[in-house]
Structure 1
Amino acid sequence: MQPDLSQTLARDRHFLQTAFKNPKKFGGLPKVEEKYRKSHEIYLKRQAALPKPQYDGTLPVHERLNDIKAAIANHQVTIICGETGSGKTTQLPKICLELGRGTAGLIGHTQPRRLAARSVAERIAEELQSPIGETVGYKVRFNDNTSRDAYVKLMTDGILLAETQTDRYLTAYDTIIIDEAHERSLNIDFLLGYLKQLLPRRPDLKIIITSATIDAERFSKHFNNAPVLEVSGRTYPVEILYRPLHAADEDEAEIEIADAIVDAADELAQLGSGDILVFLPGEREIREAAEALRKSPLRRHDEILPLFARLSNAEQHKIFHPGGTKRRIVLATNVAETSLTVPGIKYVIDTGLARVKRYSARAKVEQLHVEKISQAAARQRSGRCGRVSAGVCIRLYSQEDFEQRSAFADPEIIRSNLAAVILRMAALNLGDVAAFPFLEAPDQRYINDGFQVLLELGAVEEAV
């Protein structure tokens, strides 16, 4: 009789199931039983050492703890929709640990950016009172800091996607949390389609999808009407002030942004103490604004802190663990919009711009454009200063401009060259791109262009 495989490691279950049906093929029953015993022992050892999370009860997500636990326990897919600052990113892995997840395999937790993966891992490890890399590890490009005994693994969605090539059924995990799904990057959309196909083959796998301004219904339908839980976020009011750049043309506006930031910082400083978070489209603009602030007679005594992906760990640590009495002005790209919470922020200055990658079907190249952000992104940004007390957000554009913007940003899949997706799908034998269960199917023209590029490079054959 086949023993209970629910108390073995997820990665061994498929093999054991097959081996117990036909032990001769795998060296006889004693060998198969030995393999089962080893897997069972490691499972029990992991179960015994499972971390015991504590909650301080200060985050909005704590009010829904029991509902979230029940939804995760009773459904294979759960969608958690919460405003920025609800605490879902750091608390969900702890809730999963409390439910005994992480025993048969890791709790995989994806973030859209490397910076977020690292800092979220540090934060969760801190809350579980464990050195980074032991109970909670992270893996980003060029850096894997996860021990064999880890329970939670933070990574970028690109890393999880890459792992599907060596671990088709993602058996290293018993739970996967896809965070910030509303960003709808190519990787996220691809993962959601991949997981939808994987779920029937991995009934033991739990999927949790979280987002801030999520189109919850669409996600729920994609996963066969999965339950949606709403978690409240911001608790303090935020006053919005519009200070548009009065410029004759766009070029002039670009030059004035750094000066407008200095003026806005001066205005906010008069309202009282508190740190300022400034949103800019990219690293170059951050450096220009930092220089302007350091030259400003009123701001030169403030601590000016740039925040972008290429920062060293030590510099990032300084931003997320503030000390000292100086006012801090943090200059960030949209990395600080949702994934990361910079502590102590009372004021926000929003340029209303972000760098966006777009594919030109005519020129057949991808270009990075500085574009206006959507209304949803603007709300995310202003929400960053309503965390510790009532806040003020200065938008460097007019209210009329805000009202004319699109409600949500375009998903990356409808503005990308699909050559990389087609190539990856071919490598994973996922079949026809047009038949893949994407949340939003890409334009057939873009699929054709992607194939054309690959044909020209000799990466695929005509028959594909």
Structure 2
Amino acid sequence: PEVFGAGSLTDALLRRVREITGIDVLRADFKLDMLPPHLFMNLRVVDEHGRQLGMGRNLGALKAELGAQARGAFQALAGLNVRATPAAAEPVAATAGARRPAAPAAATASPSLPAGARYTAWTFGELPELMEVRRGAQALIGFPALVDGGDGVTIEVFDEPAVAAARHRVGLRRLFALQLKDALKYLEKNIPDLQKMAAAYMSLGTAEELRQQIVDVALDRAFLQEPLPTDEAAFRRRLDEGRGRLTLIASEVARLAGAVLVDYAAATRKIKDTKAHPAATADAAQQLQRLMGKRFIADTPWTQLQHVARYLKAITLRLDKIRSDPARDATRLAELQPQEQRYWRLVAERKGVADERMLEFRWLLEELRVSFFAQELRTPQPVSVKRLDKAWAQLSH
């Protein structure tokens, strides 16, 4: 049965509208950036004495401000006193946004997890969705995760489901990799066109770093699809399912990376060769740097990675056009810069921590660039300064 408050509100609305109307409504049909700020929940953070520590409508901003302090205290406490929570409490974790849907309640408690133990296979039983950490009479909820230790994984408890989920995915990837040592050795030696890609990647990093990113993303796509395994049997099933398609997926990742690197090389050359328009080339160079970090394959979400080549093509097209109409480029750049400056200022203020709405805004900026400078490449959805202004109103409250 569906649990109230579990998962994403947007997903729940999509399901409900489809049930009532029979219309295949899409996520893109919900324009959250069109909503006024007062429709978003106002959050208040208090300490154990009830004193207010912070308040606002943006959870990401509150986490950036107070998260490090809270996380450090929680980790210290969790290391001292951790015990498994009864499975009946699992719907609470789903409400909080845990990494998998809540299971039906059961009457028995999960076994305690040994602190500090290191694993090279799934030999630790079922991984609880949440755990209870006690501080005197106060019970706190923690989220266990597998943490990558290189030659093994450990289990740690985190205070935020999002942080736990991110660490858990990396740890789970490591655990799968440890079961596939021979297959990965073969894969690493047979990535298509690796040397050619490495030459284009040379200004960003080494061939080994490029290879590792391709392998990591292939492992993610082969084995880390939702719902993630939570016990040994599910882990083994996922291992058997993904093993046969890993090489094909790695080839797909390599092809996409290769296409991006081709356009990266073209954009780099175009920026270098365009000397008469320093403002435009400086802006394009900064855009290129943000799109193409050393870990662009691993750090760019897969859905967005498929658009990066288009963004790079837009850089080249822009600098091709600027000779015929530099005034138009300057006008568009003047419209774009305030949007970008306030976003990257916010990223700095939040110490690089970006929530879902911030990430959506970040990719809207790239689409706005395509709309401004390379309309022929088209955008998946309409985008304008007005739309970004409305999206920004949500981020700043």
TM range (shorter): under 0.3
Q: What is the TM-score of this pair, normalised by structure 1?
A: 0.24
Structure with the largest fraction of strand: 1
Structure with the largest fraction of helix: 2
